Each structure stands twice: as structure tokens, then as C-alpha cells.
Amino acid sequence: MNSVHTIAFDADDTLWVNETYFYEAESAFCELFKDELPNERVSEELFTTEMKNLQLYGYGVKGFMLCMIETAGKLSSGTDHASLTRRIIEIGHELLQKPVELLDGVAETLDYLKDRYRLVVATKGDLLDQERKLKKSGLQEYFHHIEIMSDKKTDDYEKLIRHLDCNPENFLMVGNSIKSDILPVLETGGYAAHIPYHITWTHEHHEEKPGSERFKEFKNIRDILDYV
């Protein structure tokens, strides 16, 4: 990766904790139906609703809240819908106000890299929520550019790389999702490094690791310092 001069980082579950909070929120949602349905059934119905609405709502807490409300309407029988909706909105508000907890090694790694590489955030999700988390993280000063993406397909990365006036062979993407952070970047001709997080949203599951020589797998963000 000697040719790399621009390093882009995913945010959620790469720089800070995210999916853990969504998991807790989903568990709270499942609890609303504990006397009627097993948690697994509720989670399956919620995921089906999320996938149906993904093109409409995109990624993020607000879409998740709307999907919980829609799923509750499907699953509830003789329950006070207004009460359910109020509780779901509370769950969403709690999720939006979670603290920003940096993952191990993030601050010192970015501090080392900031004067040696052009650093970028390339993340998807709700615009206001991601801006809030970036501000609260204290990491904004490290980044040359922040890109909050509606999706992470190959053409989305190609557009980002062009915007950065960067060649793919000079671009490295670091993230926790093989599906969203790794495979599309490799397709552009760029480099990609995977840092697994212990919880992965079902939609992002991808077990097979790419065989490309432009792919690296790290255990911790600090490992990047041995490769760039």
C-alpha cells in the first residue's frame, strides 16, 4: 500500500460504537411483544420491514423508528397502538441521544496519521445523526473531508474518489463491513482494510473474505500503522 495517500474511514463500528446501541433498541422493541410473540419472530418481522423500506428511508435511526412503528402495527392484536407508538418513539429518542464511545485505538491512530495522509470519513446513515456523532466524537479536526453517503455501492465510491481528485490506487478504505466497506472499493481498483466488529447488522453479513492482494484484515485500528 505504498501508493496510498488518502485513507477513508467508515464511522459506525469502525470509529465508534453503533450497532450495540441498535441491538439494545431492538431488544427493547421485542420486549413490547413478550407476552404475545418470541423475540426471534419480532426481530424477523422488523428486519423484513426494514428491507422493504430501505430504498425509501435509507439507513439510520429515523428510518428504524418508522419501521418499528410499521412492524408494531402488523404484530399487535388488540393492543393500544397509541401507547405502542409512544414507547417506540421513546426508544428512538434514546437511541439518538446515546453517547459517542470511541473504539480502542482510534484517537491515537488518527493522531499519528493526520499529518502523513489525507484522512476522510466515508459513512452512511442519517445526515443529522452522523453530524451529531462526529461533533460529539471530537474527531472532526483529523479529517480533510467528511462524506455522509446514502449508500455504499461501487459507483458511490467512484463518485467519492473523483470528488477527492484521487486515483483508486491511491485510496484506502477502512471499515467493519465486508459488504459495504470492502468489496465495492476493491471493485474500483482501490485498497480496503477490514476491522471486524463483534456485532454486525444482518443486512451487512458477508462471510466470504475477498482474495484480492489489495485487501487486508486487521484486528484493531492500530494495525493499520504497520501497513501504510
| Sequence spans of domains, the chain | 6-17+101-226, 19-96
Top-level CATH class of 6-17+101-226?
A: alpha beta
Q: In the CATH hierarchy, which fold is given to the domain comprising 19-96?
A: DNA polymerase; domain 1 (1.10.150)
Count CA atoms closer than 13 A to 36's CA, side-chain side.
Answer: 13
- The residue whose grid cell reads 477527492 is 164
Classify the phi-psi angles of 73: left when phi > 0, otherwise alpha if psi is within -120 to 50, otherwise beta.
Answer: alpha
Provide the b/e sequence for 25-38 (b: ≥16 CB within 10 Å).
bbebbbebbeeebe
The pLDDT of residue 81: 78
Q: Average pLDDT in the 78-104 region?
A: 90
**pLDDT tens-digit map of 103-131:** 999 999 999 999 999 999 999 988 889 99
User: Cα dihedral sign for 216, 191, 133, 128?
Assistant: negative
Question: Per the confidence metrics, is the pTM higher than 0.95?
Answer: no
Q: Can you tell me the distance from the alpha carbon of 29 to that of 49, in angstroms, rounded to the nearest whole number?
A: 14
Is residue 202 pLDDT above 70, yes or no?
no
